[in-house]
Amino acid sequence: MYVEMKHINKSFGDYQAARDISFGVEQGKLVALLGPSGSGKTTILRMIAGLEHQDSGDVVIEGKVVNDIPAGERGIGFVFQNYALFRYMTVYENIAFGLKVQKKPKEQIHKRVMELVQLVGLEGLEKRYPDQLSGGQRQRVAFARALAPNPQLLLLDEPFAAIDAKVRKELRSWLKEMIAKVGITSIFVTHDQEEAVEVADEIIIINEGSLEQMGAPTEIYKKPKTSFVAQFIGTSSVLEDFSGFKGFEDAPKGRQAILRPEFVEAFKSDNEKFKSLISAAEEGVIREIAFRGSYLTLTLEVNGILLTANRSLERRPVSVGEKMCVLVYRAYILEEEDAHIYKNRMLEGVDVEAL
């Protein structure tokens, strides 16, 4: 493990930002700390950086406990949420700052700065001041500045929050590419699951100061371990009691269930493709149809419970009030803090994924 957090606790007055947090990040990985706002993810990042000090526990970098090493000596590059570029310095001076502090010879500084300017594609803008740059350009400067002193670890706090939605997607892939190119171990904080899923190799989900789950994006998506993760990841609706549904008779009674739209299939009773599965389906009525641009989201009432399902625009048109067959492939049933997958028993032996 390159970076390790061992039983970290931290509180600010009554607010507990980290509760016994432990995790490790392997060298070269790009990891996302994902959680809702106020979950403590930024505090965790700042503790790794040394900008915040944990109440108890150890921060280990490269096998060395760095608890007492000041931020500036941990060999970490940090990209701040609003970039925190030095506004009275030019792009060049911003990138050169860390090297100047280290009293590197002038030619060496110049060489390194120009190398970075080229890497992030800011040639010709060296003499600009931060307020003369666009949001995306500022992010590039912040990135180059953090990398200038050759850190072994890069930390980014909400790196895309200050950028408008249109450019954000573009920058995500840019940043991912850059980090891969430089080959630096990186941890970034985000509240946007789409961002985490798209950019990170691994995701750490934080809620109320506790680590909920750590794993690859697909693993977290497919196998949420806790009820929080099941609800937080993906679009999900919470159902109060699910045990009455066909195929879920053996699910524990009186438990909440989480359903994602992709777990639900709605088809007309004369559908050819789903003909063999019609016995496993419940009957439902369309209550609402929302147009999502490239697909429809149907709200269906089944046994007095409202479910949502997505429907491709390529399929036959449907209308509100229409009767549909509703097939539920699987659901997450919540038990206390944990989430368990229950598959529709009536579909046993059917290759659902081949449908």
Stretch that binds another protein, among 32-40, 94-102, 118-126, 204-212 (CB under 8 A): 94-102
Q: Is-contact 100 109, C-beta < 8 A?
A: yes
Of 65-73, 162-170, 188-196, 258-266, which segment contacts another protein by CB under 8 A?
65-73
The interface region with another protein, picked from 82-90, 160-168, 263-271, 307-315 by CB under 8 A, is 82-90
Nearest to 60 by CA among 100, 32, 115, 23: 23
Pick the closest to residue 303 from 244, 256, 239 (CA basis).
244
Q: How far apart are the C-alpha atoms of 263 and 310, rounded to whole Å? A: 9
Angstrom distance (rounded) from CA 4 to CA 62 = 8
Instruction: Say which DSSP state 246 is in.
Output: T
Smaller CB separation from another protein, 33 or 324: 33
Residue 101 near another protein by CB under 8 A:
yes
The residue type at 139:
Q
**Given 16, 81, 256, 271, the residue binding another protein (CB under 8 A):** 81
Exactly one of 14, 87, 123, 276 binds another protein (CB under 8 A); which one? 87
Q: Count how many residues are written for the chain.
A: 355
Each residue 118-157 as x (binds another protein by CB under 8 A) or -, in order, gives ---------------------------xx-xx--------
Tell me: does residue 51 bind another protein (CB under 8 A): yes
Segment (H or E) for 328: strand 323-328
Contact between 49 and another protein per CB under 8 A:
yes
Helices and strands of the chain, counted as H and E runs: 8, 19
Interacting residue with another protein among 5, 59, 61, 76 (CB under 8 A): 76
Beta-bridge partner residues of 56? 9
CA gap 28, 42 in Å, rounded: 21
Residue 68 sits in the site that holds another protein (CB under 8 A): no
Binding site residues, another protein, CB under 8 A: 49, 51, 70-73, 76-78, 80-82, 84-89, 97-98, 101-102, 145-146, 148-149
